[in-house]
A and B are shown apart, each in its own frame.
Chain A
Amino acid sequence: MRFRTLAALAGALTLTLTGCAGGDPGGSSSRTVTYWLWDANQLPAYEACAKDFEKQNPDLDVQFTQLGWEDYWTKLTAGFISGTQPDVFTNHIQKFGQFAELKVLEPLDDLGIEDTDYQPGLASNWVAQDGHRYGAPKDWDTVSLFYNKKMVDDAGLSADDLGDLEWNPRDGGSFEKTIAHLTVDKNGRRGDEKGFDKNNVKVYGLATNGAGDGDGQTQWSPFTGSAGWSYTDKKRWGKEYRYDDKTFQSVIAWYFGLAKKGYLAPFTDWNSGLNQSNAQFAAGRAATAFDGAWMISTYAGFKGIDFGTARNPVGPTGKRATMMNGLADSVTKGARNKAGAKKWVAYLASDACQETVGKYGIVFPATPSGTDAAVAAYKKKGIDVSSFTTPVDDRKAYRTFSFPITDYAADVYALMHPAMQDVFGNGASPSRLDETNDQINLLLDQ
């Protein structure tokens, strides 16, 4: 009996444990520079860059790996642990703090990256608290309002109407009125008409992109930004988050309240994997959607849907607002070919490469000349991108802000991700974020 109990225990032990497999060595040689990126749309553009780069450096060979967003970070993490990381990878500001903390990045101070060579703010975001640079600016993006032209026409609205909206957290202003008007229930009644059935909505005025975690980039950040709120006490590497701020919480209450009124698609309509706001837009389930510049070509690819983009609404501060985020290329500390990797990153950050990338019209490169090339390329495709570029060009009318850059970014995400879902999905009061904010600040205080 005792042996059998032991055997059963051993069985439990066996089944409790999980294994993990090692990665492949990547087959690199001194000639090879391995490079990872997540956006499949951008792969051809960077391959074109690599071709030019290899022509100039015949002793180097850039090897690409493209992985979807989720797999990308999982594999990168596993790579850091097992020593199979790439030499160079596309880095996101949301992950930067953690990587800097873990000391897995190679300083790039000797690349001669100057703030003034790039669009404002892009280069300085990639300097860590130790004063070293760990990323070379690659591109930038802003968030803007995509709209379905036909639905807007049918509602008797014009592009100018959509570009001239204002909002406030009390009654939502003309923005709320407009998306209410764009909402249609299954009986064909609009959201601002009598007898509107908010429980049976056919077309939502605004698509949902989920609860937005701690950044709300394509969800609530255009509103919290134009209400004057900032994520942290300092522009970069702040020590205090401000999710307990009353202004912030009132904006959140108003924004998610739009779903209760039936104008914003509810949380249950959203799925991070398959039903993001662009999918709702493509399915004709939503008339408008806040989305990033990196999605322009995706929206352009929707068959049978003619779309336009409008500037974000003017907030209580009298300004429009958008997050302005930028990606960078980073070299890993464990890179096998550090010299080659740095050469490649320097080329990626150069006008030459960024202009090449710009010509593909899929993303805004970080250098002004690269940006110009992209704007021209979009224009050639018949896409007006001014609502994405105006925030950079017209600083008087627009406030731009960055992703929060702090220590413990992964922990902030882990705490805010469920907390915001609780507010949006379960109807918890935004004041509950006080507690989450305390937990976060306690971490940052360590």
Chain B
Amino acid sequence: MTVASSSPPTRLPLDGGAKEAERRPRRPLGDGALAALFVAPAMIGFAVFLLWPTLRGIWLSFTRFNLLTPPEWIGLANYERMINDPIFWGSLKVTVEYVFINIGVQTVAALAIAVLLQRLTQSSLLRAVVLTPYLMSNVVAGIVWLWMLDTQLGIGNEIIAAVGIDRIPFLADETWAIPTIAMINVWRHVGYTALLLFAGLQAIPNDMYEAARVDGASEWRMFTRITMPLLRPVLAVVLIMTVIGSFQVFDTVAVTTAGGPANATNVLQYYIYGSAFGRFQFGYASAMSVALLVVLSVITVVQYRITRAGQTDLG
């Protein structure tokens, strides 16, 4: 995430403005030039690390390229292959399934946690505790959950077996694997998402709740009539960001299931990675990356429009 901030240029007179002007006869930089100066580092970074790789990636998607020999232009062949590749469509399907479960559960849970944090407690310790899973690296979280959920050796299944229920192959069965990975990532990200929403809630003026309470509104009514409408822009931005992140799930899959069983968790990013670094098909991998970029762009614009993320009902 990039946060661009600007502040009005200020001049700090060191020892008298007039004196300084005498010493420096040239005109000070205009606002535009100064702004450009401030923006330049970010723009250069954007161009070098984002814009150029993206453009190059798009170009590579029209080539056959194994990274070790020069790319060879093959036109739309990679895209043709993609359209006819059942594994690609399967990957897209499991990715969408993952995003639905992950974002659905995560957003509802995060919203609940955020509201509870705001309405019930002032404890900053509790706020910190909610965030702790986020402090763990994705890979570590994945491995820990993999151990805990292992069908035979995992403590989770030991408990399930002790209760008398059949062991559940959480990460080894095609029906369970995607929901399990989605839930592992909910566990890790829900606190962070809750914190973002909590920040949004803090911006809602308290007098609205007071007025509603005077009018005899219930807690639920205040939630639906005050909290939700006023939180909408924040919620929308959070959704856009988490959906983008969710579509790019990779590390948890890589350490828990490696795309299996069969292709049940072969999410798009994992398939792209395997094509590029396992099979050295960088051209095809680039084409699929471009497809992912297009999908995400469309989803982002649609989300942005539907949720009117740029407007607020406040004030």
Contact = CB atoms under 8 A, between A and B. Distances in A.
Interface of A: 1, 4-5, 8-9, 11-19, 74, 77-78, 80-81, 98, 102-104, 199, 267-275, 279-280, 283, 285, 410-411, 413-414, 417-419, 421-422, 425-426, 428
Given A5-B304, A411-B279, A425-B262, A13 B297 contact: yes
A214 B292 CA distance: 30
Contacts of A81: 67-68
A418 B152 contact: no
A425 B260 contact: yes
Nearest to B153: A275
A271 B146 contact: yes
Residue with the highest number of chain A CB atoms closer than 10 Å, among B2, B150, B240: B150
A12 B300 contact: yes
A74 B49 CA distance: 23
Interface in B174-220: 174
A403 B220 CA distance: 66
A189 B305 CA distance: 64
11 contacts: A9-B301, A11-B2, A12-B293, A15-B296, A16-B289, A17-B57, A103-B69, A268-B173, A273-B143, A273-B146, A413-B278
A272 to B, nearest CB: 7
A275 B147 CA distance: 10
Contacts of B310: 1, 4
Contacts of A1: 310
B277 A77 contact: yes
A55 B67 CA distance: 39
Contacts of A425: 172-174, 260-262
A273 B146 CA distance: 9
B179 to A, nearest CB: 15
B259 A9 contact: no
Given A81-B67, A98-B280, A421-B260, A13 B240 contact: no
Interface of B: 1-2, 49-50, 53-54, 57, 66-69, 143, 146-147, 150-153, 166, 169, 171-174, 240-241, 244-245, 248, 255, 258-263, 266, 274-275, 277-280, 289, 292-293, 296-297, 300-301, 304-305, 309-310
A409 to B, nearest CB: 10
Contact of A16 (B49, B66, B248): B248
Contacts of A17: 49-50, 53-54, 57
Contacts of B66: 102
A183 to B, nearest CB: 15
Contact of A418 (B2, B50, B259): B259
B295 to A, nearest CB: 10
Contact of A268 (B153, B172, B240, B274): B172
A428 to B, nearest CB: 8
Nearest to B87: A418
Contacts, number: 130
A180 to B, nearest CB: 20
Contact of B280 (A19, A74, A102, A273): A102
Most buried by A among B244, B259, B266: B244
Contacts of B49: 17, 19
A424 to B, nearest CB: 8
A13 B50 contact: yes
User: Which of A5, A11, A14, A268 has most chain B Cβ within 10 Å?
Assistant: A268
Contacts of A411: 279
B152 A15 contact: no
A153 B301 CA distance: 69
A81 B66 CA distance: 9
A74 B278 CA distance: 8
Contacts of A414: 274-275, 278-279
Given A17-B54, A19-B49, A418 B262 contact: yes
Contacts of A98: 280
B162 to A, nearest CB: 13
A427 to B, nearest CB: 10
Most chain A beta-carbon contacts within 10 A, residue among B275, B292, B310: B310
Nearest to B282: A81
Contacts of A279: 153
Given A16-B296, A272-B258, 17 more contacts: A5-B305, A9-B300, A11-B241, A11-B300, A12-B296, A13-B50, A14-B50, A16-B293, A17-B57, A102-B68, A103-B69, A273-B255, A418-B260, A421-B260, A422-B262, A425-B174, A426-B262
A93 B263 CA distance: 25
A8 B309 contact: yes
B304 to A, nearest CB: 5
Contact of B169 (A12, A19, A268, A428): A268
Nearest to A82: B67
A8 B304 CA distance: 8
B68 A15 contact: no
A16 B147 CA distance: 30
B244 A11 contact: yes
